[in-house]
Chains A and B, each alone.
Chain A
């Protein structure tokens, strides 16, 4: 019963943030204006609404993937970028910006493909490492793959045309939803939704991964296969949203921690709670990014600025609940 109340509370908070965000912006819109001015309704429905929905989807994908990966790797510090996925996606997008200018579809496809490729390399690499347990090996391989791809991004940055390509690249690497419209939302929806729904369906079984592997096995589940499945769906969701929004850090890390504070350690509750909290938090961050100053602040900058202190706060109060 108390859990239901808490779920209702965070859902109400999400709806509140959604409505507030819809009426916040550089161009002030009120109800009378909405009825009388074509521009006001254009801005509300074709600029703000798709962008808020995109932010919600971005937050959901990152938070759900973060929660699932943290359980799958029994490590509270895991987030999508740890397995090289974010840097791989960034490399893919940078490559496309450099060679296939003006084609959003190519940029987003290349980003998704390289995100998955990074994970594949990390996975294959981990099996040949001779150090630590399975999980540590995968994390180590992920760090190495991340470093290689971020080196690649560095090379592309030096090759980019400083007047034309570099600003676009830099803004993309800092992450953001400026200019995200209905088209971008529709583009990332299928893959992201596929990943999110799969994680939601797997939420009961993800709990098994937090047990020792031999215990999981004795309960009739192959932990290796289950872990692989969870990781693939998490990456799918992250790669899809990263291809549009760029590299957004911290949200995938802190939201599951907040969810655990409110709902305890059970993944069957943490995954849905992370979806709601992730959506709300990302809408709030993006609203700050687009309203605070006349020029857009990159969303990745806002999430890092706000995310890191929140993370420290969560850790410093770790023992209480």
Chain B
């Protein structure tokens, strides 16, 4: 009798402790970190380490300034974006994917006077549009954000240059749009696909990595120039992750470096990826020219026919190429892996993957995803 009483007491102590622990656990994970259910202030830390207090729910969000495109491309993954994004520029509004995600996009465009593409957008023009929050890529000057805050407009910086900054910035955007579940599902998609590629390629020795070169062909400035990405750029790490040896990594730093044909010949790449970010010429036209040019025919990549135009799903208007740090770099990563290591990725069905990406991440219907697939240029 005594023993059983003691036993009951013991059980109830354990039970109370468990309930307390559970309550603490729930409190900890749902506490001040989460946006309040019915709106209110929430504080976020942005890519520059600034703490910004934002009133939820947000009603009007503007994404503008230099390199805004990757930010817009991630924002539209959130279903809330279609109702709160405003003040887009003409070029962004012409992207087929965005037009499907946000059918009213045309009505929300504004003139480029607000500073689309500039590292210092016009604060007064922005204020006229009365946004709650303005999202900038880190390439926009900090003074702009400070001036906006002085006018009571919140400015938040995101970076999105690599997987690490995706992890931080997608979560950040999830909190602003009030949809952290979507942020988590976006991130788990990127982690899964990137992990799938790395698992097959990371142990490849140097001898099994084809010498690969990504070239940005430009005819601007009166002469033809070939430009290769430096060691610190996304394209370089994408080639590396895809199981290739990125030749241009010996070029220091970030950004495009002009390289001569001579340098390309000295590298003698086994695989060449081409981008032009332009409709004239398209990467596919440049590929055809290179394959038929007597000077290029001595290069290994041309001999083996391994010269590929990088896919692009936005009419080649410089913002839809899969090598650039917009949301589709993950598709570019899968595509590169299949081109560089066809044996390892024989089971990878790219068309299926691409369709799944548009449907799962952007919420398109199967018919809409097919519509985008039809418009993709390059050697998918």
In the complex, the answer to whether B219 meets A296 with C-beta atoms within 8 Å is: no
Distance from B58 Cβ to chain A, minimum over Cβ atoms (Å): 28
Most B-side CB within 10 Å, residue of A103, A165, A168: A168
Distance from B212 Cβ to chain A, minimum over Cβ atoms (Å): 15
**Looking at chain A, what size class is its interface with the partner chain?**
35 or more
Which of B218, B266, B278 is A27 in contact with, Cβ under 8 Å?
Answer: B266
Given A42-B295, A102-B280, A296-B258, A244–B266 Cβ distance below 8 Å?
no
In the complex, the answer to whether A164 meets B318 with C-beta atoms within 8 Å is: yes
Any A CB within 8 A of the CB of B117: yes
Most B-side CB within 10 Å, residue of A27, A108, A293: A27
| Minimal Cβ-Cβ distance residue in A for B324 | A163
Segment of A13-21, A172-180, A210-218 in the binding face: A172-180
Question: How many Å lie between the Cα of A27 and that of B299 in the bound state?
Answer: 12
In the complex, the answer to whether B263 meets A27 with C-beta atoms within 8 Å is: yes
In the complex, the answer to whether A26 meets B224 with C-beta atoms within 8 Å is: no
Distance from B275 Cβ to chain A, minimum over Cβ atoms (Å): 11
Any A CB within 8 A of the CB of B306: no
Distance from B286 Cβ to chain A, minimum over Cβ atoms (Å): 12
Given A162-B66, A295-B228, A295-B251, A43–B222 Cβ distance below 8 Å?
no
Query: Which residues A73-107 have CB closer than 8 A to chain B?
Result: 93, 96-97, 101-104, 107
What residues of B have a CB within 8 angstroms of the CB of A107 in the complex? Answer: 221-222
Distance from B131 Cβ to chain A, minimum over Cβ atoms (Å): 23
Which of B220, B223, B298 is A180 in contact with, Cβ under 8 Å?
Answer: B223
What residues of B have a CB within 8 angstroms of the CB of A161 in the complex? Answer: 117, 318
Question: How many Å lie between the Cα of A103 and that of B280 in the bound state?
Answer: 11
Any A CB within 8 A of the CB of B377: no
Any A CB within 8 A of the CB of B259: yes
In the complex, the answer to whether B228 meets A169 with C-beta atoms within 8 Å is: no
Any B CB within 8 A of the CB of A48: yes
Question: How many Å lie between the Cα of A141 and that of B247 in the bound state?
Answer: 50
| Minimal Cβ-Cβ distance residue in B for A246 | B221
Distance from A185 Cβ to chain B, minimum over Cβ atoms (Å): 12
| Minimal Cβ-Cβ distance residue in A for B226 | A179
Distance from B267 Cβ to chain A, minimum over Cβ atoms (Å): 8
In the complex, the answer to whether B257 meets A164 with C-beta atoms within 8 Å is: no
For chain B, the count of residues having a C-beta within 8 Å of the partner chain is: 36
In the complex, the answer to whether B220 meets A101 with C-beta atoms within 8 Å is: yes
1/0 per residue, CB under 8 A from A, across B251-271: the answer is 100001111111101100000
Any A CB within 8 A of the CB of B250: yes
Given A27-B262, A294-B250, A294-B263, A179–B220 Cβ distance below 8 Å?
no
In the complex, the answer to whether A102 meets B250 with C-beta atoms within 8 Å is: no
Distance from B259 Cβ to chain A, minimum over Cβ atoms (Å): 6
Distance from B280 Cβ to chain A, minimum over Cβ atoms (Å): 6
In the complex, the answer to whether B277 meets A164 with C-beta atoms within 8 Å is: yes
Residues of A within 8 A of B (CB): 25-28, 37-39, 42-43, 46-48, 93, 96-97, 101-104, 107-108, 158, 161-165, 167-169, 171-172, 176, 178-180, 184, 243-244, 290, 293-296
Q: What are the 9 closest A-B residue pairs judged by CB atoms, nearest first?
A: A295-B257, A168-B220, A168-B221, A39-B298, A179-B223, A104-B222, A107-B222, A27-B266, A26-B263
A27-B265, A97-B221 given; name 11 further pairs at CB < 8 Å: A26-B263, A26-B266, A39-B299, A42-B298, A108-B222, A164-B277, A168-B225, A169-B220, A176-B258, A178-B225, A178-B258
Please list 28 pairs of residues, one from A and one from B, whose beta carbons are closer than 8 Å in the complex, sorted by A's number.
A26-B263, A27-B262, A27-B265, A27-B266, A39-B265, A42-B298, A46-B295, A47-B262, A48-B262, A93-B222, A101-B219, A104-B223, A107-B221, A161-B117, A163-B318, A164-B278, A167-B220, A167-B256, A168-B218, A171-B221, A178-B223, A244-B222, A294-B250, A294-B251, A294-B257, A295-B257, A295-B259, A296-B259
